[in-house]
Structure formats: C-alpha cells, structure tokens
Structure 1
Amino acid sequence: MTQPTPWILGLTGGIGSGKSAVAQHFIDLGVHAVDADHAARWVVEPGRPALAQIAEHFGEAVLLADGQLDRAALRTRIFQNPEERRWLEALLHPLIRQEISEHLARADSPYAILVSPLLIESGQHQITQRILVVDTSEELQVQRTMLRDRTSAEQVQAILAAQAKREERLRHADDVLVNDRDLGWLHTEVERLHRFYLTLRGGQA
C-alpha cells in the first residue's frame, strides 16, 4: 500500500517569535522541514542560473571576490529602488517556490513543514494546507532579537515594519502557539500539536 502524500504545514511568526526553536523541535520529533530562507540562499549559489542573471542585471559589483552573491551590496541597490526590488522578486520567487516544492516532495513523514518568516507576504502559504503561527508580544520580539543579534531596538522595529502585521498573520492562522514562557513549555506545546497533526488527513480536522 502506498503511503499517503504528506500534507504541508506552513510555520511562520515575526522576528524573535521563536519559530526557529519551534521548527527545530518538530524536526527532532521526526518531521521533515524546509526553511524558505535556506531555499532563497540555494537559488543564488554560484553556478545557478539566477546568480548569473543577477550579475548581468546589476553588474559585477553585487558579487564577492569568490563569486558568491554580495548580499549587502544587493540589499543596498534594491532598498533604494522599488523597481529593482520588484525585478529581483519576479526572478527569485518562482525559483524559490520550485526549490521549496522539490525539497518538500522528499518528505517521508506524515506531514512536512515549510518554515517561512514571509509565508503570508510571499504567497508561499498557497502551497500549504494548514498554518501554524508562533506569536508573542512585540515587546518580547524586540527584546529577544536585540539579545540574539546584538542589534538596536530601531533596527528590530524596522524589520518588524517590513514583515506582515501580527493581525494579518493571525488572520491566516489555523493554529496559534503563544511563545511567552520557557523552552520546556514550548517543547510540550509542540509535542501536543504534533500528536494532533498526526491524526489529520490533508491538514484539516
């Protein structure tokens, strides 16, 4: 008898919400996970067509000496120019989605997870059957991110402003995990959700 195709859980949350810790515990429980941020890096590795197109469009100045993409240089170019940002997104988003799909297709767990900070904004939620939002107060998000990245409150606020508003994420959520306690409690909650997800067919109760 063939195994049913794994359904896809979208996992998202704002910066500093703890989605990486949540994703890692799901992985520890044997769930196949794909990180959209990793996929975004894979598609611009040297030797991949996207990198050649980016270098052709923006010039060699966006490449490092070793041929890797100079992310900081590219970021500077597109932040000042919305048209250039749209050009880059039009090139990369379909490639990232294809990369994600290929990695999800390798899943051998009953369900697989797509971890993406921009799940809603990028439209990636369209390939998922269920959405889990890791939520926490903005105050906690700022505290945690400042601690983790040794960055200023202003920089964190700027990143928060660029991400989907909390209300928008929660509007798309099938499940919400409020991460405002310790790691032990968080693990217990992930295990509870995991047991529930194993009972689902196609991601819906």
Structure 2
Amino acid sequence: MLRIGLTGGIGSGKSTVAALLAARGALVVDADRIAREVVGPGTPGLAAVVAAFGPGVLTAEGALDRPALASIVFADPEARARLDGIVHPLVRARAQELIGAAPADAVVVQDVPLLVETGQAGAHDLVLVVEADLETRVARLGLRGLSEQDARARIAAQATDAQRRAVADVVLDNSGAPEDLAAQVERFWDERVAPALGEQR
C-alpha cells in the first residue's frame, strides 16, 4: 500500500487533484467528507459538539448548523481548539477504518486540509501539497459564496504555504489553467507513484 497525504489551503484545488488521482485508480479518503459524517444527526460526535457549544449550533431539524458553529469558532481560537479536539480524533479513527479495508496494493490518498496543523505528515509515504496564489484562492472562495473578508480569515486560520512546503515531497501549482494542473498530476503519478508501487511489488 502506498499512502499519500494530500493537502493545501482552502481554495487551492485539493478536490480537483483528488479527483484526478481517483481517475488513475487511487482510493481517496476525504477528511472533510468524514468530518461531516461524524457530526451527522444522531451521532455521538454531534452530541459532543452540542454539549460543548450549546443547542444554538443545531438547526430546527436537529442537524448541525454549520454557519452558526463557524461564527463561533472562527472568531475564537479556544473554541476552535475545543471543536478540533472533538472532531479530529473521530475523523482519524474513521479514516483508519477505511484505509484498513483497502487492498494491500492500493494507492490511498488521504485528502487532509489540516495535515500540517494536525501533525499527520509523518503518517504518509509521500506528502503532496497543492498551492495557488492568494488572490486566486480568494476569488475561488467568492464563487463558493464566501465574502472576501471571510475567505481571507479562513485562509489566515490555516497553515502558511511555507509550513506546508516544509513537509512536502511534491508541490503542485494550481494558479494556472486546469490542463496545467492535470499535467502536473500525471507527472507526479508517473515519476513518484508508479516507481514506488513497483518497489513494493
């Protein structure tokens, strides 16, 4: 099994890279998707979040009110740390379940936005970082409905490009055209993934 840690700041294009790697046959384990699952209605994770932050973080239907929770944690580092302390262990446990069920010869890509912040770089055979310049990321987040102020605040709350580069084996630049990114992913697969798989067989 070859384990690849995929990371990059919000708006950098991690999801696009994950999809390109999946098209090559990789199993993608998406930390953001798992993070939504572990606080779904009726889960122990959601109960723990409500216990920590109060019933105001629930919708009328009993689901997590993400904007309400975001308004609390993005403005308060202690609250964010409390939330991370609930969610991150649940995400890691579920990710390990999925990886444990993968075939021995699988290429497993863990899409982990906070790989640097949570100290998970060492758990992977390769760390792949996706970058894009700041203004490109802000513009992409605007297309997702975030205000410029919110976009810049979310970017600032994450690790810096320099911190991510410090743990990277390979850095992909996603500031340009989609075909440029696809070519970089193809080169990464041919030069780093395929040889590593050959060594394991």
Q: Distance in 2 between matches of 1:89 and 1:194?
A: 32
Instruction: Note if 1:151 corresponds to 2:140.
Output: no
* Percent of pairs with identical residues: 40
Residue 112 (1) aligns with residue 88 (2): no
Moved more, 45-54 or 82-91: 82-91
Q: Using the alignment, how far apart are the partners of 1:189 and 1:22 within structure 2?
A: 10
Partner of 1:137: 133
Task: Give me the TM-score of the superposition, normalised by structure 2.
Answer: 0.87
Whole-angstrom distance in 2 between the partners of 1:151 and 1:55: 25
| Aligned mate of 1:180, from 157, 175, 180 | 175
Unaligned runs of 5+ in 1: 1-5
- Structure 2: 5+ residue stretches without partners: none
Q: Which amino acid aligns with 1:173?
A: A
Aligned residue among 26, 41, 50 for 1:55: 50
Partner residue in 1 for 2:38: 43
- Distance in structure 1 (CA, Å) of the matches to 2:80 and 2:132: 30
Q: Is contact 1:9-1:203 (8 Å) kept?
A: no
Cα distance between partner residues in 1 of 2:27 and 2:171: 20
Distance of 1:163 and 1:134 partners within structure 2:
14
Tell whether the 8 Å contact from 1:26 to 1:190 is kept in structure 2 after alignment: yes
- Structure 1 residue 202: deviation in Å? 10
1:200: how far off? 0.7
Q: Is the 8 A contact 1:130 1:203 kept in 2?
A: no
**CA pair 143-129 structure 1, distance change in 2 beyond 3 A:** same
Q: 1:191 aligns with which of 169, 186, 190?
A: 186
How many residue pairs align between the two structures?
198
Q: Indicate how the Cα distance of structure 1 residues 88 and 145 shifts in structure 2: closer, same or farther if over 3 A, else same.
A: closer
Q: TM-score, normalised by structure 1?
A: 0.85
Q: Shift of the alpha carbon at 1:145? A: 2.6
Cα distance in 2 for partners of 1:134, 1:199 equals: 21
Q: 2:59 aligns with which of 58, 64, 87?
A: 64
Q: Which runs of 4+ in 1 moved over 6 A?
A: none
SS of equivalent to 1:132: strand
Q: Look up the SS of the partner of 1:164 in the other structure.
A: coil
Task: Decide whether the 8 Å contact of 2:20 with 2:185 is kept in 1.
Answer: yes
Q: Structure 2 CA distance, aligned partners of 1:198 and 1:17?
A: 25
Q: 1:152 to 1:45 in 2, by over 3 A?
A: closer
Q: Label 1:174 to 1:202 Cα distance change in 2 as closer, same or farther (>3 A).
A: farther
Cα RMSD after superposing both structures: 2.3
